[in-house]
Every structure is written in structure tokens, then in C-alpha cells.
Structure 1
Amino acid sequence: MSQEQLLQPFFEYLQIERNYSRHTVINYSEDIKDFLLFMTTEAIPSLLSVTYQDVRLYLTFLHERKMSRRSVARKLSCLRSLYRFFIREGYCEQNPFALAAAPKKEHAIPKFLYEEELRHLFEIADISKPLGQRNQALLELLYATGIRVNECCGLTLRDVDFNMETILVTGKGNKQRYVPFGTYARESLQLYISQGREALQKHSTDKLFLNAKGGPLTDRGVRYVLSEMIKKTSLTVRMSPHVLRHTFATHMLNEGADLRTVQELLGHTDLTATQIYTHVSKERLRSVYMQHHPRA
């Protein structure tokens, strides 16, 4: 069986059974290609002939390339999943990556915007024009909910409930959750849907956010919109949908929200993924303490 014949069912499994996004499948494909390149340099004939000793050599290979711990951990996770699939399909009996310990991930404190920086950003869009109405609604919703960019692009008109002030979000693994939004996001969305979206729409689509040509707005399009908005301010901060997600989580915790609630709103399956934001909150608490305590 050729390498391609081994791998094609795995990619179909990721897309159909696991319901992984196209972006995730591409990342898996790139990581596997990287391992295949290593196999070629080491004259390993087939994926089914890889041993634990080969895996240890591969880890040394990655270390010599000065690859980050996060990237190494991602590659190991990908290849571990590949061999679990091989075992399930009866291609092999053992997973050579099962005992390979992933390096501990670096937990950099996430970048976020301060409230004053956000205030400047919210004043940029020209809401007298359709694209300005869309941009304002997009910005307000991303900050109000902390949803991921692909979750935002996947929203349809039916997913917005103005009576309950919630959106139905389809997250990773096709898992759905309801996320509330506030007054500012509601007003911006209502203006955009009633005016801007109708003016923009040129094709039949139920997607909430549309691009300038009338089709669904893509994740790349969202990043471009936010990048252009930040350029119109005097701010020098880096802007992206994920920065707004970090900002949402940080501000929620700073204002007293409990960790479990923020975890639910973000769609994190593991609480440890949410706990990174507590580092930011603790730093703010320390800053406030040092500024205001008489004997600090």
C-alpha cells in the first residue's frame, strides 16, 4: 500500500467523522509532509515501518531545527492521531508515537486591548454607509461574544435571536453553544441587518456577514477589515479577531466573571485553556494594589 493510499482515508476521516475545518486538515497535511520528508532523509521506507527509535530521532531532528515547543507538540499530536487511525483500520498494531512525550507548551500571556484603545476603535466606522455598518456590527459582536473568527463567519441570520440577545454558535467539533450579546452589539446588528446587509447582498446567502461583493465574508476578510480599521486610528497595537477574543475574556475576568462562565462562553473544552487569562487579571490586580494601597 502506497503512502497516498494510507493517508487518503485518514484525511477523509478528519473531514467527515471528526468534522475538522479545512484549515485544520491543511495543518495536519503539512505536519505529515514534514514527517515524510524526515523519513526520506533517514531512508525509512513506509509509515508502517516507523519505530519508537525513529520517533526519538525525529524529535532530535525537530530540536536541531530550533522548532518551538508549541510546534513540536502539535506535530506529535498530529502523528499520534494518524497512528491511532492506522490501528483502528488494522494497518498496524502499535503506535510508535504513543510514548513520545510532548514538550511543555509555552504559556505566553495573551495580547489584549485596553478599554481606552477599544473606545478609539469603536469610533472609526462610518455607519452612514453599508460597509461601515457591517464593520461596526462585526467589531461589536466579536468583542461582545469572544467568538472565534471561523465561528463568526459561519453565523447565519437564523442564529441571531434579538429577543433573547443571544447567538447560536457552531464551534470546534460541530459543537453548538448559545452566547449572549449586549445592547451595543444588538443596536449595531439591527442597523446592519436592516440597512447595510440588504444593500450589500447580491447573491442568495443566509450568512450574517457579507463582503463588499455581496458574498459571505471569509476569515481572511474579517482579518483584513480589522486591520484596516486599526490603521485609521492612532493606535500602534496589533489587531486580529483573536486579539478581540483575548480582550473579551480578559475584560470579563477583570470585571469579576467566574472562570467556568468564561470557559463556557469561549467554547473551551478544557478549563486550563481559559486559565491563561487569569494571569492577565492577576497582573491588573497587582497593578491596582500597588497604585492605591497606602503601604504598597
Structure 2
Amino acid sequence: MTESHTTARDLAALVIPQQGHLQETDDPWEPYQLVDPTGQVVEPVAAYFRELQGASSPATTIRSYGNDLLRWFRFLWAIDIPWDRATRTDARDFARWLQTADKPARVHWRSKGNSEPADDVPLPAPRSGRAEPGSPNSVTGKRRPGRKYAASTRAHCETVVRIFYDFHLESGSGPIMNPFPLHRSRKSVRAHAHRNPMQEQGNERQGRYRPKVPKQLPRRIPDEKFNEIFAGLKSNRDRALLAFWVSTGARSEELLTSLHRDADPGQQLIGVIRKGSREYQQLPASADAFVWLRLYQEESRRAGAPHGRRDSLWWTLRRPWRPLNYSAARAMFNRANELIGANWTLHDLRHTAAYRMAQDPAISLTDVQWVLGHAKLTTTQIYLSPSRDEVIENVIAHHARQARKLTEPAPAPPPPPGPGYNPASLDILFGRP
């Protein structure tokens, strides 16, 4: 048994170097590889990636899982423990480290070269005049990214690493015990066992070191703020993108998969590849979106951008022509956000479209479910709940009414009826309570 298993590990003095990396390949059979500090592919992770691909997981899922596993393997490399010798003590310390460690600083793409990755560097202090990391935005109310790992990031990481060890445990290629155990209260629960209906049903596969993630309602962009963002856009391409996102409810990366042949202005439809099922689906869009699209297509055709039926619908604005990717689209939206001091995301456009459709009494909730591509109707029902802005507006109006009650004089009682009139009959006649 190593020293780290018998004595308390000094996590405060532990430094996690930024060694190893997750690299994208051009091989469709192996879209991502986890590479160790010596430049060798980590084979246990490669085997797990093959399992994910066999289970029809898209490349974006493999990339997301790969980043979580890279975080875990960097911790193991720092404490010098092989992945198949990790114990629950190591998993516990990893969970503790994620709670207190600062996130590494992102390296700008212009400064990336062929040099070796630098050590883990904490996020720099904010410049003068800039908001503190983790503080709420004054326009949207959303918190800015903080210096620490968010609870959702830590929860996702714990789940991915635990399932990674479950895979190797089942295949017999890993340790005989998963270092990331299940929660003690769930360990002895029998599958399909009867439960007390008065008790809340929990997740039987919840990990012991998985943090609690607070549930938050999706945020939408108010109409007046959306108009301000739209007015700050610089090109017809960007105006067309936002018009399609906010009218179709498509995910940001789904719309970027559209080709020229997928736009059908006559039927007012645009085709996208769904993120989860990878199925092709045509979505109805607003007429304004196709107007902006037509203006963008004329400009890009005159500029020389590819415009064949099988070519991408969205291109960069300058040569060399490249299909617009998610990172570039997000940077475009962030620039428009900064003009009004907001921090909404591209996914908030999907939430905005969902709220608009769900609150239209002429559209059924099942129609909204189909447009959004939700597998369960309960996922769509969250858009029936009032948004943060609506709740704030309603409560402020309530306080205003209460203030008027305290300041305005009480209404004078009605004068007594004349002789010979029945008061009860007069109340019915004038509709008085």
C-alpha cells in the first residue's frame, strides 16, 4: 500500500500540471484520443471511446467525456498512481480537490504553438472595471463563470469517471472494485423494489462523491433585450442565424449542420441534424429568417463563397472560406452581448423559442415537444413555468398594489337606500358583494 493510502494527502500543496491532452483526429472510427504526457494514447480510454461510439454516442459526447477523463488522469499522474490501482481514497481526494481548486486559465488560440503544455495556472485577477468572476450579471441575472469548478461540472465528471470504471469492471480489464462508489443510501436498494409513494424517488445510481446540483429554470431573453442584441449584429449572416435560432428552437450546433439544399423558403422549412438521434428533421421557421437568409446568400455568392447544394449553408465572412463552426458562432453572439452588457448564451435562444411557443395557446405542448426534439413530454413542460423575469415583474406589481392600498383612502360606504327599497335587492341590481 502506498503512502497516499495510509496518510492524509496534502491537497493544499498538490499541483496538477497541465500534462496530456485530448486531441481531435480525422479518423471517423476514433474521433478523439486521450494522450498521456509521453505522447502515447491512453488505451483504457480509447477502449471506452470505442464503447461509446458503439452505443451511438456522437463525437461531441466523446469529446465531453474525454475532457472529464483527462481531468481525472491528470490527477492520477500528479499523485503517481496507475489508473487501475486507484482506490476510493483517491476518488475522495479527487472530489475534494475539484471543490477547492481553481480552474486552469484558458490559453488563447493565437498563443498556442508546438510547445509543451504549461503547468496549471490559476485564472488571472479581473482587470480594473471588469466584474468579479462568479458575480451575477446586472442585465441577465446569470452568474459569470467563477474561479472554481461549478457543481454541474463536478457532477458530470464524477458520473463519467464512475461509468468509465464500470465499463472496465464489466469487461474484466480494470480493477475489481470501482473507486467511485454509489451513495450509501442507494447501495442496498433492490432493483424494481416497491417504494413508499409518500417518499421522493431518488436516483438509485447516484454516486457517493457526486455533488448536489441545484435545479434552475431555463432562462429566456426578453423581447426588448433580444431586439437590442439583434440591432447590434454586423452582418446579414448573423441576423439570419439569430432569426432561425429564435424561431426554430434548434440547438446552436444543429443549425450549423444545415446545407444549402436544406433551406426550403417555399415551405418555410429548414433541415437540421438532431444532436441526440442524429436524425434529419425539417423545422418550421419564421418568414423574417428566410428574408435575412436570402440577403446573406446573395452577399456570400457575390463574394465567392461556395454555394452548391451539398455545401454548408453558413460560411465565414472572409477568405479562406471555411464552414462556420460553433466556436465562431459563439464568439459572434458574445460580441453582440457585450454591447448591452449581457451574458446570455446561444442555448438561451433555444429556451427563448421554447417559451414563446409553449405560452402560445394556439400551439399544443406536443407540437412544441416535436419541434424541440424532446424524448419526454415532461422535459417540455418546464417551459410552462413562469420565467425569472415574469416572476420578478409579477411580484413587483404585487408590491405596487400593496403600496397603493396603504396610501389610498378606503372607499366610502354606499349611501343608505331610500325609504321603501330593499338593500339586498339593490346589491343584486348593482352587482355589489
TM-score w.r.t. the length of structure 1 is: 0.77
Q: 2:85 aligns with which of 24, 49, 60?
A: 49
CA distance in 1, matches of 2:90, 2:374: 34
1:220 aligns with 2:327: yes
Whether contact under 8 Å (1:201, 1:215) holds in the other structure is no
Whether contact under 8 Å (1:201, 1:210) holds in the other structure is no
* Secondary structure of the structure 2 residue equivalent to 1:169: strand
1:103 aligns with 2:140: no
Q: 1:139 aligns with which of 229, 236, 242?
A: 242
Q: Deviations over 1:184-226 (max 9, x none)?
A: 1232223333x13323443466111111133211112212332
CA distance in 2, matches of 1:146, 1:98: 38
Q: Offset of 1:121 from its aligned partner? A: 3.6
Q: Offset of 1:44 from its aligned partner? A: 3.3
Alignment of 1:160-171 (within 5 A): 160-171=263-274
Residues 69/125 of structure 1: CA separation in 2 closer, same or farther (3 Å cut): closer
Q: Deviations over 1:72-114 (max 9, x none)?
A: 2110121133224324543146544351243332233444321
Q: Which amino acid aligns with 2:67?
A: E
Residue 68 of structure 1 corresponds to 150
CA distance in 2, matches of 1:105, 1:278: 22
Q: Offset of 1:143 from its aligned partner? A: 1.0
Q: Deviations over 1:168-187 (max 9, x none)?
A: 22122343233211221232
CA distance in 2, matches of 1:184, 1:74: 39
The structure with the larger Rg is 2
Q: Offset of 1:144 from its aligned partner? A: 0.8
Whether contact under 8 Å (1:113, 1:244) holds in the other structure is yes
Residue 356 of structure 2 corresponds to 251
CA distance in 2, matches of 1:13, 1:87: 13
Residue 129 of structure 1 corresponds to none
* Secondary structure of the structure 1 residue equivalent to 2:276: helix
Residues 172/56 of structure 1: CA separation in 2 closer, same or farther (3 Å cut): same
CA distance in 1, matches of 2:162, 2:375: 20
Residues 120/294 of structure 1: CA separation in 2 closer, same or farther (3 Å cut): closer
* Secondary structure of the structure 2 residue equivalent to 1:221: helix
RMSD of equivalent CA atoms: 3.5
| Greater relative contact order (CA < 8 Å, ≥ 6 in sequence) | 1
Q: Which amino acid aligns with 1:189?
A: L
Q: Which amino acid aligns with 1:29?
A: G
Residue 78 of structure 1 corresponds to 160
* Secondary structure of the structure 2 residue equivalent to 1:217: coil
Structure 2, gaps ≥5 residues long: 1-39, 102-147, 183-206, 403-433
* Secondary structure of the structure 2 residue equivalent to 1:216: coil
1:190 aligns with 2:294: yes
Q: Offset of 1:259 from its aligned partner? A: 4.8
Normalized per residue, which structure has more helix? 1
Structure 1, gaps ≥5 residues long: 127-131
Whether contact under 8 Å (2:269, 2:282) holds in the other structure is yes
* Secondary structure of the structure 1 residue equivalent to 2:311: coil
Equivalent pairs counted in the alignment come to 285
Whether contact under 8 Å (1:166, 1:179) holds in the other structure is yes
CA distance in 1, matches of 2:395, 2:85: 59
Residues 218/43 of structure 1: CA separation in 2 closer, same or farther (3 Å cut): closer
Q: Deviations over 1:39-70 (max 9, x none)?
A: 3455533x233344543443333334464321
Whether contact under 8 Å (1:50, 1:96) holds in the other structure is yes
